[in-house]
Amino acid sequence: MALPCAGLSALLRFSDPMPTLIAAPTRIESAGSKPKIIEEFVGLINTKTQGLSVAHMRSPEGWEEPGQKPEFDEYTVVLRGTLRVQHSSGELDVAAGQAVLAHRGEWVRYSTPFADGAEYIALCLPAFSPQTVHRDE
């Protein structure tokens, strides 16, 4: 049985997809006590992706953001410096080469009180959204 041309081309696209280049991130304004650089590679702003977001963050010494109780899981890999993660039972200091998972629905607050600040990658499932982060007022 022969496939119609449109069906065949759809089948070929499905079976042999091509990678999509994300040429550059989009810089996003940050919340917090000092300016922090957020560059979203994948997410609602840069790629219109709802399922996850991937952002490169650079926060200076003394930066602190409001606490939050997000509707997403946030995986954070620290590349340089140390990131402090406060939670309802205490706090964790996450150093370069380490990672932390903040579970959805859990209260956390991120900061960089250390002299070298921090550089890190954050991956949120589903994607980060100002409407679903639920920051403290």
Can you give the CATH number for the domain in which 97 is found?
Answer: 2.60.120.10
* 3 in any annotated domain: no
* 13 in any annotated domain: no
* 124 in any annotated domain: yes
pLDDT of residue 3: 46
* 109 in any annotated domain: yes
What residues make up the domain containing 29?
Answer: 25-133
* 6 in any annotated domain: no
Q: What is the token pair recorded at 81?
A: 């410096």
The total domain count for the chain is 1
pLDDT of residue 7: 52
Q: Which residue has the tokens 């810089």?
A: 27
Q: What is the mean pLDDT of residues 38-42?
A: 98
DSSP letters along 13-37, please? HHHS---------EEEPPPSSS--E
Bigger pLDDT: 81 vs 16: 81
pTM to 2 decimals? 0.85
Q: How many CB atoms lie within 10 A of CB 59?
A: 25
pLDDT of residue 1: 46
* 5 in any annotated domain: no
Q: What is the pLDDT of residues 95-131, one digit of tens each?
A: 999 999 999 999 999 999 999 999 999 999 999 999 9
pLDDT of residue 15: 61
Q: What is the token pair recorded at 134?
A: 């639920």
Confidence of residue 17 (pLDDT cuts 50, 70, 90): confident
- As a whole number of angstroms, the distance between CA 46 and CA 28 comes to 10
